[in-house]
Structures are given as structure tokens and as C-alpha cells.
Copies of this chain bind each other. A is one copy, B any other.
Amino acid sequence: MCRWAAYRGNPLYLEELVSSPAHSLIEQSHCANRAKTATNGDGFGIAWYGDHPEPGRYRDILPAWSDCNLRSLSRQIRSPLFLAHVRAATNGGTRRDNCHPFVHGRWSFMHNGQISGFERIRRRMEALLPDTLFDARAGTTDSELLFLLALHFGLENDPFGAVAEAIATVEDFSHRHGGDALVRFTAAFSDGNQLYAVRYATDHKPPTLYAAPMGGKCGKTTGYCLVSEPLNDDVDAWMEIPDGSAITLCDDGMKREAFQPKLMSEAA
């Protein structure tokens, strides 16, 4: 289990999520309240969109709480769209290539969750990737693989459809190879324009996800942040995103639709 926070809206310093709030992401790296594990000390990462289509990224393997670079960067960098993540390793060792967010071209992706029995199906899943995406795989996590599969299934044109197909594929693989087909998936991803998030689990116990307005309004533009757990005690400000949700943050604000991967096993 990991913790993450993401923002879209008027440009905001990353520190507004990463280090300043009472229960900031750095605080959550050693004292998470609503996670299975209170400690998320196996590295961290930030990805933010600036002048280029491709996001900038900074990742490292130290616990977020002890990295002075992270504090300095979060204080200096201001962005209208960014993702930040602190990791508690399940699959994959502690190394930079296994730290979220993952980035491919304009796309960024971060994840909190798990694929039960991942090691048993990892190779078969990797075999689905076309050469370009296979070559792009730098680490060993289930999260990166879900991202690459989603890219393969058309993340560019139908973000939620592609993610749903990636998850369904994993569930089907797991079914066929004697696994329990358990996928828990609370993720955020972006192409630099919209910010997307999904909260979903086959057993209806997905990792938590909350939303709150943030960053002020400017005409129609409203900023929102999405977080694994609220950044402060203002209970009225935070809305829990229900299981089976697909969230879009865009210029019109926040939209929610149902998210339910269609399994081949069920289709049959």
C-alpha cells in the first residue's frame, strides 16, 4: 500500500500537497492513518507538467521524510497539474525504476493497490506488450505493467476504457492460471491536460480515495486535489470517492462516472 496526491487547477506549488499541510504526503510517508501500513518509506516520486508536453519527474529511493531535495523542489515548482507518490513496496525492490509516477511520453501514472499472485502471471502479462512498450519497461512492479498495458490498450484515446481493459486482462489471466483474480486499484494518470483517477477493486475493498476543491477559482476554472487520505482534519472539505469510480478533472471541474471492467469470463 502506498499513498499519493494529485492536483489539477490553477498553478500551485507542489508543497501545498507534498509538505505544507498538517497531514501532508511527506507526513503520510511515516504516519499514514488509513493504510494497511503506516510507513511508506520505500521511495517517492513527483511528476509535474510545465512548459513541455512531457512532464518533469523526480524520484528517489530514500524515504520522502528525509529527502531535502524533495522539500526544495516542492517549494520551488509550481504547476497546474501534478502527481506525487510515496511508496510502500509490495512487488519490486526499492530502486528508482520502481518508484511512481511512471512516465511515458506525455503520460504519467501512479498507483496504490495490488494484483494478487502477480509473480505467477507477470511474464505472461509482459508478453502481451508490443516491443516498444516492452522496451519501455524499466522496473519490476505490477503498477508499471498496468500502465504499459493501458497504453497498449489505447490510453491515448479512451483512458478509462484502456485502464478497464488492462485490469480485465489481469483478472482473466489470474482466473486461467489458478489465481484468485484479486485486483485492487486506486490510481491517478494524466496526459497533461486532464487528470484521471480510478478507484476500483474486484473484492470491493479498494484503497481509499478522497477529493477536495483546492487552489482557488478563476472564472470557470476550479482546482481539485485527489488524495489517498485527507491532508487535514477539515472533515467537511473532503469527499470520499466511492468504490467503482472513474474521476475526470478538467476545466469544467470534477466529473464522476461508474468504472467496471468487463471480464471476458463474465462476458462468456
Contacts and interface: CB of A to CB of B under 8 A. Distances in A.
A58 B42 contact: no
Given A41-B39, A52-B75, A96-B95, A62 B60 contact: no
Tell me the interface secondary structure of chain A in the complex: mixed
A127 B127 CA distance: 9
Query: What's the interface size class on A, roughly?
Result: 35 or more
Nearest to A131: B123
A69 B59 contact: yes
How many identical chains are in the complex?
A: 4
A58 to B, nearest CB: 5
B72 A57 contact: yes
A119 interface: yes
Contacts of A76: 48, 50-52, 55-56, 77
Interface of A: 30, 38-39, 41-42, 48, 50-52, 55-63, 66, 68-69, 72-73, 75-78, 89, 93-97, 119, 122-123, 127, 131, 134-135, 138, 140
